[in-house]
Structure 1
Amino acid sequence: MTVENPRRALGVVFLIVFVDLLGFGILIPVIPLYALSFGATEFVGSLLIASYSAMQFLAAPFLGRLSDARGRRPVLLLSLTGSVLAWTLFGIAGSLAVLFAARMLAGAMGGNIATAQAYIADITSAEERAKGLGLLGAAFGLGFVFGPALGGFFASEPVVALARDVLPAAVPVSEFSLPSFAAALITGTNLLLAYVVLPESRPPDERTDASDSRESRVEQLLSALRTPGLGALVAAFFLVSFAFSALESQFIFLTNDQYAYGATENAVILTYVGLVLAVVQGGLVGPLTDRFGEYRLAVGGTAIQVLTLAAVPFSPVLGQFVPSVGPLVSVGPTLPAGVVALLVVMTPLSFGNALTNVSLNTLVSRSADDDEQGGAFGLTQSAGSLARTFGPALAGGLYTGIAFWAPFVVGGLLMLPILALLARVDNRVIAATTA
């Protein structure tokens, strides 16, 4: 460790990742509807969503190696600068092609997570590294909770109207551009903070050649899939991410078609889902793991998602069996029965997904040796990135080519092979998690 105050540096990296994910989360409720505003189909909008993960998958190893050779600080500053440019370009986009360019640039810059993880490894001891990486995971979760809420706020009619009155006429203001500019401003503030207070963690004498040849992430994944026990877990993690990407990529198209919901209404629902995920991951997983073990939680969480993911598009039908709710306050909106049913379905779905993701990560960790933990977590991240690249494309094709319910039902069915894969997990790992 070469940083004088590792605790402060860790806090700065946490803030950098949190604010970075906050800027990303702001646009989650906006991106699908923004694509539709240019005449895109749901399939093309799904490709726009997937382009971020594709570029993130490709860029993360390059940025990681570049940080090994040039230092962590310049790479983090470079990625934040690129994110500011990407979100600004997203706001002023006048065509679908520019939207794609901005989204892909943002994805490439989002590959800085590998550098942030390496920074934490630089400034923490082996004993404290898990806590530091856990803090990074918390930054992710918080960014996804508060980001959509801010996106809905900046896309709301009163805020957009106020911005039109205040900002110069040359600035394009809409429910789509304003959240983009907010993301750029937040990321720009993050850049200034990092420039002022973030120290370098990797001294020149420890840096390596950026051209150092290593296995590609695809080669690492293929190698892991051939490893008994570990391969089943990595494949299960890929399928969970692939299936759940049907919800992530098509949900806003679905609510727009069924309830005419825009960015603000969807932001409220997505914030609720984020809160459920945060509560489960931050408060319930520990006690549940102590009682049932990671393996049983992975199986149970997957089983919950089989039915709930498939039920999402049928919330209007399920709404016949539940009452409408509201207004919760005198000026609040009334929630239609279909939306109430949707929230009822989304609650156990989010609960099951949180259990499955956390438990599979832990099982992967238990299947790897102590000196291979970083590589093990890298495998799950790579599998997740690939799944979120190809999953939305397939889901968008099913949505437009077959029916609105198809991607959700197929996603639910894809959970069934995961149960078969979990049955192939090494018995020693199962015994260690259920003792």
Structure 2
Amino acid sequence: GIGFTFGPLIGAACVSGVPNVALDDAQFEVVQSWQDAETSVTADDVISELTAVGEVREKDQDAIRQLVTEPTSRRDLQTHLTAAPPSAPGYVAGTLSGLAFLMALLMLKESLPQDPAARTAGGHRSWLNFGRLMRHLSAPQLSRILIAIFITTFGFAQFESTLSLLTESLGYDLRWNFLLYAYIGFVLTIGQGMLVRRFLPRIGEHRMALLGVVLMTIGFILVGLTGHRWFPPQALWWILPTIVIGFSAVNPSLQSLLSQAAAQDEQGGVLGTGQSLSSLARIFGPAIGIQLLKEWSLSMPYFLAAVLVMIGGTVVTFATKAAPSEQH
């Protein structure tokens, strides 16, 4: 949660407050041809020229009007409109990822015993063990929880990957997008570090997961309605905590239920299967969510996410705690 807060804050500090204008290939070529440093043009002139070769969205028209508040030369406009996005956030992210890799390589030790004889209970280790995956999915108790993990993560991954596209359409610039993601990270820190940690022992994993499902479903529906302009763009600042706190409740609860449902000597492998399915959900979720947003509507990914999370909640309802001996 803390990383999700400071990362976007660094990104916000690395970008300027200059409005961003999205150009297609034809519009970009037109802007590149602007070499006249003498003749000045107005915002309406720019919009008219760009509209002649492609669509200029309302958000981009507003950005052009913010950029061209008075007659400006074409060459100056070319400099602003064709400037590459800031690269500093990418370099910072790459550096931090490299440091994390080195720390994991040098500081994290193997948790299993080093004696091969003591590790036979865990079975043969391999990078890809489809037999183990199918065995876990064929166990009724484990399969329910694993399916719930996949579905809820799939829905949340759609939300994560399409949010910046939604906010861009709603008029957010790069800096406000970074600040919004920093806000999400702050809420995630509060949700995981204070709320879930405090209430999970009191109400249990099963109820906590269902509570999270309810919050996520409500939040996704409200975000979808915001995409339909039922709510103003600023409404995201009070809607998003509902989703983030909901996922903060769902994710650790399902992981705990999965660990409890596994036999003691299978817990590591079962949790690994859960992480594998989460990774698959984070691959396919964005791919489908972005296509839905572009081909259908701004709201479709979030309405689908609400349906998926409700299905996941239904699966969780039937995922009762099983004794480890039942998984052999």
Deviations, residues 264-313 of structure 1 (Å, cap 9, x unaligned): 21111111111111111111213211221110011111122112112213
Contact 2:213 2:246 in 1 (8 A): yes
Q: How has the CA–CA distance of structure 1 residues 227 and 194 changed in structure 2, closer, same or farther, with 3 Å as cutoff?
A: closer
Q: How has the CA–CA distance of structure 1 residues 381 and 194 changed in structure 2, closer, same or farther, with 3 Å as cutoff?
A: closer
Report the counterpart of residue 175 of structure 1 in structure 2: 85
> 3-state DSSP class of the match of 2:140?
coil
CA distance in 2, matches of 1:184, 1:369: 39
Q: 1:228 aligns with which of 140, 160, 168?
A: 140
Contact 1:148 1:267 in 2 (8 A): yes
Report the counterpart of residue 281 of structure 1 in structure 2: 192
| TM-score under structure 1 length normalisation | 0.52
CA distance in 2, matches of 1:388, 1:407: 14
Deviations, residues 360-412 of structure 1 (Å, cap 9, x unaligned): 01101111122222222212211110001111111122112211111110111
Q: How has the CA–CA distance of structure 1 residues 419 and 313 changed in structure 2, closer, same or farther, with 3 Å as cutoff?
A: closer
Match runs of 1:29-428 below 5 Å: 141-157=1-17, 174-187=84-97, 194=103, 198=106, 201=109, 214=126, 216=128, 218-259=130-171, 261-315=172-226, 317-319=229-231, 338-426=232-320, 428=322
* Superposition CA RMSD, Å: 3.0
Deviations, residues 340-375 of structure 1 (Å, cap 9, x unaligned): 311111111111111011110110111112222222
CA distance in 1, matches of 2:97, 2:317: 44
CA distance in 2, matches of 1:206, 1:263: 53
Could you tell me which amino acid in structure 2 is paired with residue 154 of structure 1?
Answer: C
CA distance in 2, matches of 1:273, 1:181: 22
Could you tell me which amino acid in structure 1 is paired with residue 186 of structure 2?
Answer: L
> 3-state DSSP class of the match of 1:229?
helix
CA distance in 1, matches of 2:217, 2:109: 44
Q: How has the CA–CA distance of structure 1 residues 213 and 198 changed in structure 2, closer, same or farther, with 3 Å as cutoff?
A: closer
Could you tell me which amino acid in structure 2 is paired with residue 400 of structure 1?
Answer: K
Could you tell me which amino acid in structure 2 is paired with residue 147 of structure 1?
Answer: G
Divergent runs of 4+, >6 A: 205-208
Deviations, residues 67-88 of structure 1 (Å, cap 9, x unaligned): xxxxxxxxxxxxxxxxxxxxxx
> 3-state DSSP class of the match of 2:237?
helix
Higher helix share goes to which structure?
1
Q: Tell me how far 1:201 sits from its aligned partner.
A: 4.8
How many pairs align? 250
CA distance in 2, matches of 1:424, 1:186: 41
In structure 1, runs of 5+ residues without a counterpart are: 1-140, 159-172, 320-337, 430-435
Contact 1:310 1:410 in 2 (8 A): no
Contact 2:170 2:233 in 1 (8 A): no
Q: How has the CA–CA distance of structure 1 residues 289 and 182 changed in structure 2, closer, same or farther, with 3 Å as cutoff?
A: closer
Q: How has the CA–CA distance of structure 1 residues 190 and 422 changed in structure 2, closer, same or farther, with 3 Å as cutoff?
A: closer
Q: Tell me how far 1:217 sits from its aligned partner.
A: 5.2
Could you tell me which amino acid in structure 1 is paired with residue 219 of structure 2?
Answer: T
Q: Tell me how far 1:174 sits from its aligned partner.
A: 4.3
Q: Tell me how far 1:426 sits from its aligned partner.
A: 2.9
| TM-score under structure 2 length normalisation | 0.68
* Structure number, greater radius of gyration: 2
Report the counterpart of residue 81 of structure 1 in structure 2: none
Q: How has the CA–CA distance of structure 1 residues 201 and 304 changed in structure 2, closer, same or farther, with 3 Å as cutoff?
A: closer
Deviations, residues 53-106 of structure 1 (Å, cap 9, x unaligned): xxxxxxxxxxxxxxxxxxxxxxxxxxxxxxxxxxxxxxxxxxxxxxxxxxxxxx
Could you tell me which amino acid in structure 2 is paired with residue 379 of structure 1?
Answer: T
Q: Tell me how far 1:181 sits from its aligned partner.
A: 2.2
Q: How has the CA–CA distance of structure 1 residues 396 and 220 changed in structure 2, closer, same or farther, with 3 Å as cutoff?
A: farther
